[in-house]
Amino acid sequence: MRKLEIYEPPMCCPTGVCGPAPDPALANLQENILRWKKEGIEVERIAINQAPQRFMANRAVVDLLTREGQEVLPLAILDGVVISKGKYPAYELVPLQIVR
């Protein structure tokens, strides 16, 4: 199974879609996650303030944060490869077919 990990900046709640004016990018992300899951892609969202140990366990994430700072977040990694940084991944960025 393919795996998409989305490393996120601090969130007020686990989804980030809360408060009086939720970020439209997060609402769009939730829609995309549902679409990716239907295609058989495992998706995991990891917020720095809720799972800092997960950030520290991923060398690529640590390296990017060290070099570029928190502006690199959100950071999307598909099957170990960075596919977007500084913004949430678009649905089209996640290839649905495994290229052989």
Strand partners, 47: 8
On whether the pTM is more than 0.95, the answer is no
What tens digit of pLDDT does each residue of 19-53 get?
Answer: 666 778 888 999 999 999 999 999 999 999 999 99
Instruction: Say if residue 10 is preceded by a cis peptide, omega within 30 of 0.
Output: no
Calpha distance 49→34 (Å, rounded): 24
Cα–Cα distance, 47 to 14 (Å, whole number): 8
pLDDT at 99 over 60: no
pLDDT at 18: 65
Concatenated DSSP letters of 14-35:
SSS--SSS--HHHHHHHHHHHH
